[in-house]
A = this chain, B = another copy of it.
Amino acid sequence: MTVGYSLAAATANATTVVRLLLRWHGSVWQLIYRESVVWILLNAFASCIYLFIVKDSSFDDAYKRFLYKMDSLPIEMTLIFLLSFSTSTNLTRWHATFGLLVWPENVAMMFNVHFKDSAVSPNVALRIRRTIVRYLMLAYILLLRDVSSNIRIHWFPTMEKIVECGLLTSQELSLMRSSRMKRTACHYWIPFLWILQIVKKRYRKQNKKASVMTEEGYDQFVEEIISTRGTLGDILSYDWVPLPLALTQTITFFVYCTLFGNIFRLQSRIILQYKTNSHAEAIIVQGISNCFLNVLYIAWLRISQVIVNPFGEDPDDFEAEYLLERHCEVLNTMLCSPQEEVPFAYKKPAED
């Protein structure tokens, strides 16, 4: 689910900042608490190993030299570079994907403006309008099934499920399946074609009066449908060609290695720098200060992972089911509510 906080960030004062930091849902705390706990347990485990096994054994010196070595690797800057590179690349992609997921209002308005209800009987007009709504919803669902795991798994695992929802008749489903395409291919463009063909079959009357759309109106409508289909189709391309897997692997692997290495670095600092202090004090002082940077690295990595696939099931991913509900409501209002009552104030308006 997308997590909105725009209104909460309207003014940038102290209260806002604190309130933003304390949010849980979709927050960085929710993202990292598991990793952080694991990392702390690993730290404790490593400490125990040292204290009860290695210490005072014959490996003690070698172990300490190993820790020394780990501590001097110059990886901070490399890590920061890698993480910003990865996050900014993923973020750019995330935004671009969102921009491609156009909303169907333009198509609906275009239809509304150019469709002449009076050319057919009121019943038929309403039926056409409802079919347009159905087909638009259908196109979105067919597309989202392909990119969003949530829609595919929880909402419409089979095409029959869509028929149950009333968005597809079984006749249409069998027609769709009779096409020569593989079942696994995405058929999201078929409803768009159907929309155009329904209107084409009905509008191409010799008699201009009986036609539901003018020639020019139909052309504009075609333009809009095809540009909408094109933009939605780009989402499939984006899905088909992700960032190179090697890039994602490199960054993930490297950050986890660093975090793992940091366990030994922390050890080394605790063991070696505070020889003269009590062990407890060393652990506290070192633990707190080191945790700080490690939590930052975990947080940054997690953020970059979360936005790799914006149609996934993370809290910050696009809420595909919300979108579908919203589109359904808006399309019904736009196309199927009575069209007659256009308000028009004949009285002198107040601003005169």
Contact = CB atoms under 8 A, between A and B. Distances in A.
Contact of A257 (B114, B182, B292): B292
Given A249-B27, A303-B250, A345-B131, A220 B222 contact: yes
Tier of interface size on chain A: 35 or more
A234 B103 CA distance: 9
Nearest to A290: B73
A33 interface: no
Interface in A214-253: 214-217, 219-220, 222-224, 226, 229-230, 233-234, 237, 239-250, 252-253
A120 interface: no
A240 B2 contact: yes
Contacts of A12: 31, 302, 305-306, 308, 312, 314
B89 A149 contact: no
Nearest to A102: B230
A69 interface: yes
Contact of A244 (B179, B193, B316): B316
Contacts of A147: 6
Contacts of A76: 74, 77-78
B85 A88 contact: yes
B237 A98 contact: yes
A344 B172 CA distance: 8
Interface centre among A31, A69, A75, A89 (most CB of B within 10 A): A69
A293 interface: yes
A1 B337 CA distance: 40
A349 B349 CA distance: 42
Interface stretch (A40-48, A50-58, A328-336): A328-336
Given A81-B84, A249-B20, A73 B185 contact: no
Contacts of A245: 3, 5, 20, 23, 26-28, 316
B89 A89 contact: no
Given A105-B233, A189-B109, A244 B303 contact: yes
Quickly give the copy total for this chain. 5
A209 to B, nearest CB: 9
Given A23-B249, A65-B285, A342 B110 contact: no
Contacts of A243: 91
Given A110-B226, A194-B342, A252-B17, A11 B314 contact: yes
A293 B78 contact: yes
A333 B220 contact: no
Nearest to A30: B246
Contacts of A345: 127, 131, 134, 169, 171-172
B311 A10 contact: yes
Given A106-B229, A196-B109, A289 B149 contact: no
Contacts of A201: 342
Interface in A124-143: 127, 130-131, 134
Shortest 8 CB-CB contacts between residues of A and residues of B = A166-B350, A10-B312, A28-B246, A12-B305, A10-B149, A172-B343, A197-B342, A244-B316
Given A6-B147, A110-B222, 15 more contacts: A5-B242, A77-B77, A78-B296, A81-B84, A85-B87, A98-B237, A116-B204, A165-B350, A165-B351, A166-B349, A166-B350, A185-B329, A214-B215, A246-B299, A246-B302
